[in-house]
């Protein structure tokens, strides 16, 4: 399979949680990759029991297991781009940051899954700090939702100007590019 990197087929790695309902996480990433004719590979960080009604349970994998999956994919198949999603806790975030550095992974897209679309906090403060200090600076692009941008930017986002200010504050953390997703904008401003 190692000849994939030499072929014209792009290879992407998603490092995220599994969504048993198939609407998010690794399952959604792999479908998106396939739709765009990208060979998708994956490293699970956690397993969720969820459906369209909500999340019933989340179980984290050991950080060493996450690293082993990433190393197995990169050392054999190789990757052109890597995307992170739900990393769940400080230990997994630090393990991912370490292996991204050790394997010199480029084209890193960080979707800092910290707060659900409904505004429910998914990770604790130590994990937020690990994301901010160790993973965001390695990213080619960071794609926080409104709630995540509020946390990283340290401000309430009520309109598009606040979104821009939050993006600037996140950029100043050492991020190359920031795309704040506005789907949860409080006043539904559409500029």
pLDDT band at 182 (very low <50, low <70, confident <90, very high): confident
pTM of the model: 0.91
Of the given ranges (36-45, 141-150, 178-187), which has the lowest mean pLDDT? 178-187
Distances (CA, A) of 42 to 3, 74, 171, 174, 179: 18, 10, 27, 26, 23
pLDDT band at 3 (very low <50, low <70, confident <90, very high): low
Is residue 185 predicted with pLDDT exceeding 60? yes
pLDDT band at 118 (very low <50, low <70, confident <90, very high): low
Is residue 83 predicted with pLDDT exceeding 70? yes
* Residue 185 DSSP SS3: coil
pLDDT value of position 188: 56
Query: According to DSSP H, which parts of the chain are helical?
Result: 25-35, 63-76, 90-102, 125-130, 146-153, 160-171
Identify which of 150, 152, 144, 142 has the alpha carbon closest to the alpha carbon of residue 110. 142
Distance, in Å, from the CA atom of 142 to the CA atom of 177, rounded to the nearest integer, reads: 6
Is residue 58 predicted with pLDDT exceeding 70? yes
Distance, in Å, from the CA atom of 69 to the CA atom of 79, rounded to the nearest integer, reads: 13
pLDDT value of position 177: 97
146-170: pLDDT as tens digits: 999 999 999 999 999 999 999 999 9
Topology (CATH level 3) of domain 2-143: 3.40.1190
Token match 């739709």: residue? 35
Average pLDDT, the chain: 92
Kindly list the domain boundaries of the chain, sorted by start residue: 2-143, 149-191
- Region 181-191 average pLDDT: 64
pLDDT value of position 121: 80
pLDDT value of position 2: 57
């Amino acid at each position: 399979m190692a000849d994939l990197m030499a072929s014209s087929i792009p290879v992407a790695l998603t490092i995220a949680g599994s969504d048993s309902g198939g609407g998010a996480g690794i399952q959604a990433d792999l479908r998106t990759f396939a739709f765009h004719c990208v060979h998708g590979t994956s490293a699970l960080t956690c397993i969720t029991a969820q459906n369209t009604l909500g999340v019933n349970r989340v179980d984290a994998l050991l950080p060493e297991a996450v690293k082993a999956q990433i190393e197995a994919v990169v050392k054999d198949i190789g990757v052109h781009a890597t995307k992170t999603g739900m990393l769940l806790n400080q230990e997994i975030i630090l393990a991912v940051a370490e292996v991204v550095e050790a394997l010199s992974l480029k084209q890193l897209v960080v979707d800092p899954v910290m707060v659900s679309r409904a505004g429910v906090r998914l990770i604790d403060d130590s994990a937020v700090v690990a994301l901010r200090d160790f993973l965001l600076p390695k990213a080619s692009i960071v794609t926080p939702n409104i709630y995540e941008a509020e946390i990283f930017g340290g401000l309430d986002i009520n309109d598009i100007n606040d979104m821009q200010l939050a993006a600037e504050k996140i950029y100043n953390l050492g991020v190359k590019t920031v795309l704040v997703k506005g789907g949860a904008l409080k006043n539904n401003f559409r500029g």
